[in-house]
Amino acid sequence: MRMQVGLARAIEANEFELHYQPLIDLKTGRMVGAEALLRWRLPDGSLMPPAQFIPVAEESGLIVRIGAWVLHEACRQASLWPAINGPAPWVAVNLSALQFRQGGLETLVAAALRDSGLAPGRLELELTESILISDPASVLAAVTRLKAQGVMLSIDDFGTGYSSLSYLTRFPVDKLKIDRSFLQDLGGRGQGQTIVEAVIGLASNLGLACVAEGVETAEVARLLKDLGCGYGQGYYFARPMPAEQLMAFARAQT
Ligand code: G
Ligand code: G
Ligand code: MN
Ligand code: NA
């Protein structure tokens, strides 16, 4: 309850900020996009990670207002990112199931794009498997209308949710993000490697792009590239960082 009051106040007090984690093209090693990750800057200056407050924001419904701020802010900041070497980077934004259940998500996305001037193709929306199976008919309609706006759609934490694969052909998604738990024993002969190979193959056969999350070593990055995974994200490349540092990171690469 205390946190809920704090969260409600945090929106008015402008205490949220977005950090960005680079998404890397594994073939070229270049940053091609970044995932926006929400942080709560408490009045004492400390930073609260989302795992501690997003569950409360979801239970209380505040995630709808917070999520609206995230979309506007991510689009606004991404619209300032220059093309440094190749196309200007895209921004990936995480969505909660509640944002779909509330309705109006398409209107919100359209407003964020219009207000920022960001090209729709530079906005990626990360959906979870639980969103896709929660209310298939209404979510399918909403996702289809979002896709019609020209945004990119990805499935986050792929492989950790329900293993019904039928939604992969029904929903107009562009990309799978392999959950970082499967990268743990990559390079060994464990099941992680089998699953990673299977997901990369599945994505490829369905014409979807593939992102591996939680890349922590050069060996894993090289192995993923050799297995045909297009993109990587993880501490090996860069940790999530404040917006001001992201362009310096992109420039330092060239
Ligand atoms: O940044 P970190 O690894 O601590 O994020 C933890 C979790 O919080 C991740 O699962 C991520 O998807 C989620 N998360 C981060 N930012 C947002 C956001 O803006 N909206 C929602 N719904 N989830 C977020
Ligand atoms: O669920 P989602 O994929 O949105 O979560 C992204 C989260 O993963 C962020 O909170 C980020 O801090 C975390 N993360 C990013 N890269 C790595 C990594 O290489 N290792 C670990 N353990 N976590 C990571
Ligand atoms: Mn994510
Ligand atoms: Na994930």
Q: What is the mean pLDDT of residues 44-56?
A: 94
pLDDT the model gives residue 1: 67
End-to-end CA distance of the chain: 48
148 Cα: distance to centroid of ligand 1 (angstroms): 25
58 Cα: distance to centroid of ligand 2 (angstroms): 19
Greatest CA separation found in the chain? 51
Band (pLDDT 50/70/90 cuts) for residue 186 is: confident
The answer to whether 106 and 146 have CB atoms below 8 angstroms apart is yes
Between CA 210 and CA 50 the distance in angstroms is 24
pLDDT the model gives residue 162: 74
74 has pLDDT over 70: yes
254 has pLDDT over 70: no
Mutate to test the pocket of ligand 1, among 94, 130, 156 (most ligand atoms within 8 A of CB): 94
pTM of structure: 0.96
Which residue pairs, CB below 8 angstroms and at least 24 apart, start in 59-68?
60/4, 60/7, 60/8, 61/98, 62/4, 62/7, 62/8, 62/11, 63/96, 63/98, 63/99, 64/98, 64/99, 64/102, 65/11, 66/7, 66/11, 66/16, 66/38, 67/95, 67/96, 67/99, 68/108
CB burial string 111-134: b at 16+ within 10 A, e below: ebbeebebebebbbbbbbbebbee
Q: How many CB atoms are located within 10 Å of the residue 62 CB?
A: 19
pLDDT the model gives residue 169: 87
118: Cβ–Cβ under 8 A, 6 or more apart, which residues? 75, 76, 78, 79, 91, 112
* Residues contacting ligand 1 via CB (< 6 Å): 37-38, 49-51, 54, 63, 67, 70, 94, 96, 240
pLDDT the model gives residue 136: 78
The answer to whether 15 and 40 have CB atoms below 8 angstroms apart is yes
Between CA 225 and CA 238 the distance in angstroms is 17
Give the whole-number percent of the chain exceeding pLDDT 70: 98
Q: What is the mean pLDDT of residues 200-208?
A: 96
Question: Which carries the bigger pLDDT value, residue 249 or residue 167?
Answer: 249
ipTM metric: 0.96
45 Cα: distance to centroid of ligand 3 (angstroms): 25
Between CA 8 and CA 181 the distance in angstroms is 33
Tokens of 159: 């492989």
Q: What is the mean pLDDT of residues 203-221?
A: 96
Nearest Cα to Cα of residue 26 among 241, 213, 243:
213
Q: How many helices (H) and strands (E) does the chain have?
A: 11, 10
The answer to whether 232 and 224 have CB atoms below 8 angstroms apart is yes
Q: Which domains does the chain have, with CATH numbers?
A: 2-252 (3.20.20.450)
Atom of ligand 2 nearest to the CA of 126: 4
Segment among 56-60, 61-65, 157-161 with least mean pLDDT: 157-161
pLDDT the model gives residue 237: 98
